[in-house]
């Protein structure tokens, strides 16, 4: 496996959020094109990591970007970064597709699994700084903890699957994951 | 009120990463709807997912990717204008004693399930509605409505049983479980939950293997091939 967790190139987080807000406010196509250029290739990489073929991945990316276009008004930069918001849309879309596979007769009216409830937006935070701190904290995790995050989030593995895959006890997977999040939580505390 | 029994952290991580099956995803989401503490934890897990997405080595999209998407947006817009928004269906949960007690995330599946199945009596004082959700071959997902003072006979489970209280409360050997509380039992736990009188006791249960009754009723269950 290559290095654990790569860090993002320096794109201005505020810029991403501004583009989403421009799409929400006036259906701004140039802003959306910028979002597409930044997000779509990353989404495609994410879906391929999760086992999708390139063509299928491309189709799901189209769905996710369409949702971003349509739901731009529901984005709230105080609650989450654009990449976090995008991640949850892609993840929910994937869960929805898996569910349809299991139940081909699914009612087409069934709404996609709803986005998870957001935390209260009763705090104003320095969003750019918050995201930067989290990114640095992830990069500084010990490799065995960073690898677990990768397996869970990039490859959609359950803790039990990770335990089998890495031949370590389930309890160890859980405790390493806890340690990782304890560090991240400490770093993020001022922003929560 | 803040729940006392929370979703374990590993399930929050798996939910955030999209690794849980549909019924368990819904179970976690229903708890999140009732628990601010876990919502904050889950938001942190999702933020980690977002940062990781950001750090992925990009894979180029097809050259016409953006054009195709704009074409689709245009098509959708025209379609919407032509069809006009349909009247929103009646909201079946507004006047229903069960529906009104459900967190929004459970309402569509409840509405769909009661079209397909009826509430049936499990044991006296306990009724259940099978939920139309994909579960494993031996699993089940259901809503349970337990009358005050009644309960489920003593039982164990072959697998794990996740029970989220949506309203009211029940008590068993381990303590009290009220709205928002998640009870997790496995084959090591033999318990006999009893609902409190007062507010309707409504729970959302997901089992990954069938219940085994261990008291007198258990003998009947085994005789009947259960």
DSSP B20: S
Mean pLDDT of B46-63: 92
The pTM of the full predicted model, rounded to 2 decimals, is 0.84
Domains within chain A, CATH numbers bracketed: 13-102 (1.10.1740.10), 122-191 (1.10.10.10)
Mean pLDDT of B4-8: 94
Place of tokens 């790569």: A6
Q: Which CATH architecture has domain B9-73?
A: Orthogonal Bundle (1.10)
pLDDT given for residue B218 in this prediction: 54
Contacts with A, B 99-118, CB within 8 Å: 104-105, 108, 112
pLDDT given for residue A115 in this prediction: 45
Proportion of chain B above pLDDT 70, given as a percent: 85
Distance CA A12, CA A79 (A): 17
What are B145's strand-pairing partners?
Answer: B127, B202
Q: Does B82 touch chain A (CB under 8 A)?
A: no
Fold of B102-223: Jelly Rolls (2.60.120)
Q: Would you call A58 and B62 a contact, using CB atoms and an 8 Å cutoff?
A: yes
A24: left (phi > 0), else alpha (psi -120 to 50), else beta? alpha
pLDDT tens over chain A, length 192 residues: 444 445 445 577 889 999 999 999 999 999 999 999 999 999 999 999 988 889 999 999 999 999 999 999 999 988 889 999 999 999 999 888 877 665 444 333 334 334 444 554 445 556 678 888 899 999 999 999 999 999 999 888 999 999 999 999 999 999 999 999 999 999 888 776
Q: List chain B domain ranges.
A: 9-73, 102-223
pLDDT, tens digit, 9 for 90 and up, residues A96-109: 887 766 544 433 33
Task: Examine the pLDDT at B161 and tell me if it is beyond 90.
Answer: no
pLDDT, tens digit, 9 for 90 and up, residues B99-138: 999 999 999 899 999 999 999 998 899 999 999 888 777 7
Contacts with A, B 18-57, CB within 8 Å: 18-20, 22, 25-26, 29, 32-33, 36, 39-40, 42-57
CB B196 within 8 A of CB B148: yes
Rg (CA), chain B: 21
Distance CA B207, CA A179 (A): 29
Q: Which residue of B has its CA nearest to A65?
A: B69
pLDDT given for residue B76 in this prediction: 78
Question: In this prediction, does ipTM exceed 0.85?
Answer: no
Q: Which of A16, A78, A82, A87 to mutate to test the interface with B (most CBs of B within 10 A)?
A: A87
Q: Which of A1, A4, A60, A117 to mutate to test the interface with B (most CBs of B within 10 A)?
A: A117
- Residue B51: C-alpha distances to residues A9, A140, A149, A163 (Å): 11, 13, 11, 24
pLDDT given for residue A189 in this prediction: 83
Task: Examine the pLDDT at B226 and tell me if it is beyond 50.
Answer: no
């Amino acid at each position: 496996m290559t290095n654990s967790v790569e860090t993002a190139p320096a794109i201005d987080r505020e810029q991403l959020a501004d583009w989403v807000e421009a799409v929400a406010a006036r259906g701004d196509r140039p802003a959306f094109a910028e979002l597409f250029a930044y997000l779509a290739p990353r989404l495609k990489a994410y879906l391929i990591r999760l086992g999708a073929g390139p063509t299928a991945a491309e189709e799901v990316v189209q769905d996710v970007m369409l949702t971003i276009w349509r739901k731009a008004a529901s984005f709230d930069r105080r609650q989450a970064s654009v990449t976090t918001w995008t991640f949850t849309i892609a993840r929910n879309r994937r869960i929805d597709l898996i569910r349809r596979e299991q139940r081909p007769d699914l009612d087409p009216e069934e709404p996609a699994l709803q986005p998870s409830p957001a935390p209260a937006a009763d705090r104003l935070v320095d969003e750019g700084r918050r995201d930067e701190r989290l990114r640095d904290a992830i990069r500084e995790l010990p490799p065995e903890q960073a690898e677990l995050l990768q397996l869970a989030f990039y490859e959609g593995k359950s803790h039990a699957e990770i335990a089998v895959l890495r031949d370590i006890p389930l309890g160890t997977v859980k405790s390493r994951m806890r340690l990782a999040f304890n560090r991240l939580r400490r770093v993020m505390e001022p922003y929560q | 009120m803040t729940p006392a029994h929370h979703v374990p952290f590993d399930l929050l991580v798996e939910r955030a990463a999209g690794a849980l099956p549909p019924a368990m995803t819904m179970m976690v989401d229903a708890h999140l709807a009732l628990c601010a503490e876990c919502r904050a934890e889950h938001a942190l897990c999702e933020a980690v997912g977002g940062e990781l997405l950001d750090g992925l080595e990009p894979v180029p999209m097809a050259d016409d990717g953006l054009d195709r998407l704009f074409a689709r947006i245009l098509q959708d817009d025209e379609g919407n204008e032509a069809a006009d928004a349909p009247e929103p269906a009646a909201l079946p949960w507004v006047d229903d004693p069960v529906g009104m007690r459900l967190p929004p995330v459970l309402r569509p599946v409840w509405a769909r399930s009661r079209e397909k199945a009826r509430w049936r009596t499990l044991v006296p004082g306990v009724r259940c509605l099978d939920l139309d959700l994909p579960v494993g071959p031996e699993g089940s997902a259901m809503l349970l409505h337990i009358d005050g003072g009644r309960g489920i006979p003593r039982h164990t489970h072959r697998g794990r049983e996740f029970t989220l209280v949506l309203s009211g409360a029940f008590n068993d050997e381990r303590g009290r479980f009220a709205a928002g509380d998640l009870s997790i039992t496995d084959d090591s736990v033999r318990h006999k939950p009893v609902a409190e009188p007062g507010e309707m006791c409504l729970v959302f249960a997901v089992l990954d293997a069938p219940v085994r009754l261990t008291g007198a009723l258990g003998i009947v269950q085994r005789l009947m091939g259960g």
